[in-house]
Amino acid sequence: MENTLGKSLRELRCLYDIARITGSTHITLQERLLEIVSIIPKALQYPEIAFASISVNGNNFKTENYCETDLTLAADILVRGAKAGSVVVGYARPPAASPDGLFSKEERLLLDAIAERLGAITEHRQAEEALQESEAKFYLAFNASPDIMAISKMADGEFAEVNESFTSFTGYSKAELIGHTAGELMLLPFKEDSEKIRQALEEKGRVRVEEVRLRKKSGGIYPVLFSAEPLTIGGEKYLLTTSTDISEQRQSQELVQTISDVSPLGIYILQDDRLKFTNPRFQKITGYSQRELADRELLSLVAAEDSDIVKSSTAFTLQAQSPYPCEYRILSKNGQIKWVMQTVSPIRYEGKTGILGNLMDITERKYLERKVIEYEELSKMKSDLLATVSHKLRTPLTTIKGYSTMILDYYERLGTEETREYLRSIDASTDRLTKLVDNLLDTSRMEAGLLKLEKAPASVTRLIQAVAAEASARSGQHHIITRLPRRLPIINIDAKRIWQVLDNLIDNAVKFSPPGTEITMTADKARDAIVIRVIDNGPGINAGELAHIFERMYRIEQKVYTGTDGIGLGLYICQKLVEGHGGRIWAESTPGKGSIFAFTLPVTGTGKNRQTPARTPETSGGKAR
């Protein structure tokens, strides 16, 4: 009995001691296991020769007398169901007497109980360590965070902890903050901000990234992105708040915004060929609103003939990484063409690569450039004209001067016929001179926009008949024929000017066709117009020249018809006069066979579209010059 009692007492003491060691605070797991290993042998039947060892998670703890023998008993230490080690008891040598065997049943149960206890201690300790580690990590992150962080009590809002970013941002020390509320320190000066936070907490229990304004100790107010998450520490509810200072970001955004708003350059950002951003100047140049431009293809604004230049200059710049400015035309919303000069560069925008384009409106510059070119052309033309005109004036003047001197010097000796011949030459040269001067005057009047048409109802039939009669009288060497329909409407024209057109065409036909050939004038009624034709049997005009003969001062004479006078203004004047009447003039020709010069005169607005009376109109009474 005494023996049994003694054994139970030893076991109880051992378990009690283990419980005491487990419960004692401020000692490490190692110290605990070392102490436990030293008391285990005392619970065995022969404590004086007993030893013990504990190995757990790679750490071994042994009593001093530990030795390798076969006289051992072991039990596994399980942590969360898995073997984490073992506890072993043993005897250094066989005990003198062991009536219950080397280890009694109770001793086996005791060792199992110890192993279980050790498993629990290890498990608990591991959980504690993990917690401590995560707490340490949290505090490290909390303190080192660049975000402005605080932990405040949910109940009264008092700050329990703030990080370094919080103190350095607000300018308040930890002491000034802890134990106080944001309200007391007026950290949120705007009611709508605190209201926004309060409402989110009430509705969702947290705040997710709201922009609010924080007031620093110095009084300055700065924008931040604010979040708050609930947190329980030691059974008490707290709020972990995080704010990110976005004042610099906001400032640079505002700077970029201002630059883009006031820039004299049109700015755009392109992604996948579509406009993702445009500034007010770009909108002004194109005439479209921001909304109309959003997601639109840039090339849809570019004049079709320039789209290749835009594509290739963009590709080149991006490849060569050096700006390659290009000039192109934009079709603005109201149909105007705007010239722009642009440079592009690669950019990242909203997380994606894109192209940043800058363009300058150079419409004005282009206009001036064109004016300069026109001016240069004009002055060249003027000097050409001067040279031609002086040359052309000289020929008839020489004739006039020559014959008049002859008449004056030899008046007595000249016969009547000779004198008449000389006077005829003087008369013809004077006519040529007059025509030249008239053509020059008409051209300059037309170019100054000063030529006025005085329209009145007139008969084309009679006009043609009169021109033909006069031309026949003038040039006896050609047969001038008219082919006119019986009825033609009266139309509203400046008869003097149409006379001039017909006269010019007949003159050319006479000038360029061989003597004895026919020159025919016809008139026909087309849909809304009368078509008048002057047909000759002259040398004709080849297709290449046909396209140019109506141009100002264009002549073929140098190449083909040397000796004819004229300065290439006749057809140019005819064209302007016909167009002034709302008509059209053109030439058709088969080289070697002859030419047809045709023009239309619209039939409108006389209110007298009746048959031509058989009288000659007043306007055809003389040479319309």
Nearer to ligand ADP, 468 or 509 (CB): 509
Partners of 588 in the β-ladder:
596
State the minimum distance, in angstroms, from the CB of residue 471 to ligand ADP. Answer: 13
DSSP secondary structure, 536-547, as one string = --S----HHHHT
Q: Write each residue from 586 to 605 as x if it is in contact with ligand ADP (CB under 6 A), else as -, in one continuous string.
A: ---------x----------
Rounded to an integer, what is the distance from CA 603 to the centroid of its chain? 52
β-pairing verdict for 207-215 and 221-233: antiparallel
Options 117, 432, 555, 576; binder of ligand ADP; rule CB under 6 A: 555
Nearer to ligand ADP, 298 or 571 (CB): 571
State the minimum distance, in angstroms, from the CB of residue 516 to ligand ADP. Answer: 16
Residue 508's nearest CA partner among 554, 463, 544 is 554
The whole-angstrom separation of Cα 305 and Cα 308 is 7
* Site membership for ligand ADP, residue 538 (CB under 6 A): yes
Nearer to ligand ADP, 328 or 599 (CB): 599
Backbone angles phi, psi at 593, to 5 degrees: -115, -35
State the minimum distance, in angstroms, from the CB of residue 560 to ligand ADP. Answer: 7
- Choices 72-80, 495-503, 522-530, 554-562; region in contact with ligand ADP by CB under 6 A: 554-562
Options 357, 489, 566, 583; binder of ligand ADP; rule CB under 6 A: 566
The whole-angstrom separation of Cα 512 and Cα 500 is 18
State the minimum distance, in angstroms, from the CB of residue 478 to ligand ADP. Answer: 11
Options 148, 571, 578, 624; binder of ligand ADP; rule CB under 6 A: 571
DSSP secondary structure, 477-542, as one string = TSEEEEE--S----EEE-HHHHHHHHHHHHHHHHHHSPTT-EEEEEEEE-SSEEEEEEE--S----
**Residue in the structure block whose two tokens are 């190449």:** 559
Nearer to ligand ADP, 539 or 617 (CB): 539
Residue 466's nearest CA partner among 538, 411, 521, 544 is 521
Residue 498's nearest CA partner among 581, 391, 378, 555 is 581
DSSP letter, residue 81: T
By CB under 6 A, what part of segment 117-156 binds ligand ADP?
none
The whole-angstrom separation of Cα 258 and Cα 584 is 56
* Site membership for ligand ADP, residue 393 (CB under 6 A): no
- Choices 125-133, 279-287, 305-313, 553-561; region in contact with ligand ADP by CB under 6 A: 553-561
**Residue in the structure block whose two tokens are 């009266």:** 490
* Site membership for ligand ADP, residue 385 (CB under 6 A): no
Options 429, 512, 520, 601; binder of ligand ADP; rule CB under 6 A: 512
State the minimum distance, in angstroms, from the CB of residue 554 to ligand ADP. Answer: 6
Angle between helices 2-23 and 29-39 in degrees, nearest 10: 170
Nearer to ligand ADP, 580 or 602 (CB): 580
Nearer to ligand ADP, 310 or 451 (CB): 451
The whole-angstrom separation of Cα 110 and Cα 119 is 14
* Site membership for ligand ADP, residue 549 (CB under 6 A): yes
Q: Write each residue from 470 to 509 as x if it is in contact with ligand ADP (CB under 6 A), else as -, in one continuous string.
A: --------------------------------------xx
The whole-angstrom separation of Cα 259 and Cα 253 is 10
By CB under 6 A, what part of segment 299-358 binds ligand ADP?
none
State the minimum distance, in angstroms, from the CB of residue 509 to ligand ADP. Answer: 5
**Residue in the structure block whose two tokens are 């590709």:** 315
Backbone φ/ψ region at 607: left (φ over 0), alpha (ψ -120 to 50), beta: left
**# residues contacting ligand ADP (CB under 6 A):** 21
Options 557, 588, 606, 623; binder of ligand ADP; rule CB under 6 A: 557
State the minimum distance, in angstroms, from the CB of residue 594 to ligand ADP. Answer: 8
Nearer to ligand ADP, 177 or 509 (CB): 509
By CB under 6 A, what part of segment 228-267 binds ligand ADP?
none
Options 570, 581, 617, 620; binder of ligand ADP; rule CB under 6 A: 570
The whole-angstrom separation of Cα 342 and Cα 323 is 9
* Site membership for ligand ADP, residue 568 (CB under 6 A): yes
Options 46, 287, 556, 609; binder of ligand ADP; rule CB under 6 A: 556
Amino acid at 305: E
Nearer to ligand ADP, 307 or 522 (CB): 522
Residue 211's nearest CA partner among 253, 161, 163, 180 is 253
The whole-angstrom separation of Cα 79 and Cα 56 is 10
E strands of 553-592, at which residues? Answer: 585-590
Options 467, 523, 541, 624; binder of ligand ADP; rule CB under 6 A: 541
Residue 588's nearest CA partner among 624, 545, 559 is 545
Options 293, 567, 577, 585; binder of ligand ADP; rule CB under 6 A: 567
- Where on the chain is the footprint of ligand ADP (CB under 6 A)? 508-509, 512, 536, 538-539, 541, 549, 554-557, 561, 566-572, 595
